[in-house]
Chain A
Amino acid sequence: MRPVAGIGLRSPHLAEIARDTPATGFLEIHAENYLARSPAVLTVERLRRDYEFSVHAVGLSLGSIDGPDEAHLGRVAALIERLQPALVSDHLSWSIAGGRYFNDLLPLPYTEEALEVVVRNVDRLQRRLGRQVLIENPSCYLSYAHSTLSEPEFLSELVCRSGCGLLLDANNIVVTAHNLRLDAVAWLDGLPASAIGEYHLAGHAVNDADGEPILIDDHGSRVSQGVWAFFDEIVRRYGPRPTLVEWDTDLPALDILLDEAARAARALKVDAEADARAA
């Protein structure tokens, strides 16, 4: 996919998008919202004439010690077979244990054992789909005392051992760096540039924990100024990629979401022009 900017497709916007087909680079859907044969999935199938798609899974639980649920994996694989999206992704996290799904992207310890588990699960997913998937860095609210690798080291090693790509979420890096007292710019050091296949942008909230501000990745507002500035740094360092603006809570009018994507497109283009001048 070309390095364009698109929007997350959310059901309250579906009818308007189907009617007006507004200009945007691509549409991303959450796999778990389109697994049944609802009118919504038929609309998405029709929209494939007008847009490129990305399928972003939130429930494969690639960090689970017992691996992804086989039935769920089969349903996601069938959706991808039908839609033939340009990109497929899920997260570096876990959400299922003991047969229960928690609807949260839960944090992994960054240990050799966890790395082996995620490599095995990503490998199983990629074999099942017959294609590469992108793995997204999560937003973190805690870290484990027994972690032996940093998150970027863990992701780089995952790329090396599984052949997966990376989905860099600029907002998640800013959230994680703030919450875990890390340097967001240093977080970017040494990532395998050629593996980076997509960027995500979203808004976050500032909440209170023990009297201190903690950033919550709630996808409920415009992208913050700090994240836009950090996104410029990412693009400067790793170049333009397909970029997606996510908005999930307090969903705004479609125009506002499209406006955020247009801003992301400008950020990608400014950098491409700077590269051209340098060359």
Chain B
Amino acid sequence: MPGLRDLQAAFSAYLKGEDRPDLADAVVADTIAASARLRIHRHHVAESLATALGATFSTVQAIVGDQFFRAMARTFVVQDLPRQPVMAEYGAGFPAFVGGYGPATSLPYLADMARLDWALNMAFHAPLEGRLTAPDLTGLPAERLLGQKLALAAGSTLVWSPYPVDRIWQASRPGATVGAVSLEEGPAAVIVLRRPEEATFVSLSLSEAAFVRALDGGASLEEGAEAAFSVDPAFDLASSFARLLALEAFAALQQIC
């Protein structure tokens, strides 16, 4: 007669795929075997978590189809079960898993689509308040502004890919009118944002992406502009900064001193 701790440990091991005859021995069998009864739980754990991943990684699921996605998700689930019960917070490791998933190697952009799905999911669940707006900077002298460091707002994430992830995302929507996307269209960068009623993303030029990446890494506005100039000498700091500010991509300043 197992104690509760041993029983829950044995059940957990079984759900992770181990063969546990000791657990089956503890379960009442009749015309339905203990193993068949236990399988209902193993099946539910894998399938319900695959469904949860499908909700979060809906673009990946749309690209590869339900059957392929569920097989991939079930493989991930057994390796990386959730550490907490909030399903919207499960799957941080899935993009990297997708990148290394053998059967998906013919879709080299798939892991980046998973990163974009994950960033959109994180943005949707991020708080809306605490964003920097243009009036917050009124009266700040230009030289102080250039030395200012700006963090990205909660939910703002830069996704940078060698593939046209923005166009692939649009082409994967139900009822998409975007034509065929060629991987030869080259790299793309987007910034994912929390909007009042949704999460969305906006495409950036590669110089803007370099600017955002530098700021996200702790650079000042001036240092960020230098990073952008190195990508494209035609980078226009004033217009790009105004655009990102209007998108409320940055976190409110803690204090301006």
Give residues in A with beta carbon < 8 Å to B. Answer: 32-33, 35-39, 42, 58-61, 64-65, 69, 71-72, 75, 94-104, 106-109, 111, 113-114, 117, 141-146, 180-181, 209-210, 212, 214, 216
Given contacts A97-B12, A142-B37, 5 further A-B contacts (CB under 8 A): A100-B82, A102-B15, A104-B45, A142-B41, A180-B28
Contact B41 A104 (CB under 8 A): yes
Stretch at the interface among B57-65, B120-128, B220-228, B242-250: B120-128
- Complex contacts, B185 vs chain A, CB 8 Å: none
Contact A100 B1 (CB under 8 A): no
Contact B32 A102 (CB under 8 A): no
Q: Does B48 contact A (CB under 8 A)?
A: yes
Could you tell me the distance in whole angstroms from the C-beta of B8 to the nearest C-beta in chain A? 4
With known contacts A102-B45, A209-B37, A212-B31, A36–B8 Cβ distance under 8 A:
no
Could you tell me the distance in whole angstroms from the C-beta of B123 to the nearest C-beta in chain A? 10
- Complex contacts, A60 vs chain B, CB 8 Å: 85
Contact A59 B86 (CB under 8 A): yes
Contact A38 B125 (CB under 8 A): yes
- The chain A residue with its CB closest to the CB of B123 is A38
Distance in angstroms between the alpha carbons of A188 and B26 in the assembled complex: 26
Could you tell me the distance in whole angstroms from the C-beta of B129 to the nearest C-beta in chain A? 8
Partner pick for A111 among B4, B30, B40, B124, CB 8 A cutoff: B4
- Complex contacts, B118 vs chain A, CB 8 Å: none
Q: Does B104 contact A (CB under 8 A)?
A: no
Binary CB contact string for chain B from 30 to 55 against chain A (1 if under 8 A, 0 otherwise): 11111011111100110011001000
Contact A32 B85 (CB under 8 A): yes
Q: List 6 A-B contacts (CB under 8 A).
A: A32-B87, A38-B125, A100-B12, A102-B45, A104-B15, A111-B4
- Complex contacts, B32 vs chain A, CB 8 Å: 209-210, 212, 214
Distance in angstroms between the alpha carbons of A103 and B46 in the assembled complex: 9
Task: Indicate the size class of the contact surface on chain B.
Answer: 35 or more
Binary CB contact string for chain B from 68 to 90 against chain A (1 if under 8 A, 0 otherwise): 00000000000001111111110
Distance in angstroms between the alpha carbons of A72 and B11 in the assembled complex: 22
- Complex contacts, B89 vs chain A, CB 8 Å: 36
- Complex contacts, B41 vs chain A, CB 8 Å: 104, 106-107, 141-142
- Complex contacts, B36 vs chain A, CB 8 Å: 209-210
Partner pick for B27 among A39, A145, A216, CB 8 A cutoff: A145
Partner pick for A35 among B38, B83, B86, CB 8 A cutoff: B86
Distance in angstroms between the alpha carbons of A240 and B178 in the assembled complex: 55
Q: Does B19 contact A (CB under 8 A)?
A: no
Could you tell me the distance in whole angstroms from the C-beta of B241 to the nearest C-beta in chain A? 27
Partner pick for B11 among A61, A106, A117, A146, CB 8 A cutoff: A106
With known contacts A100-B81, A144-B28, A36–B37 Cβ distance under 8 A:
no
- The chain B residue with its CB closest to the CB of A58 is B85
Distance in angstroms between the alpha carbons of A113 and B9 in the assembled complex: 16
- Complex contacts, A39 vs chain B, CB 8 Å: 124, 128, 196-198
B:114-160 near A, CB below 8 Å? 124-128
Distance in angstroms between the alpha carbons of A216 and B81 in the assembled complex: 23
Q: Does B7 contact A (CB under 8 A)?
A: yes
Distance in angstroms between the alpha carbons of A88 and B36 in the assembled complex: 34
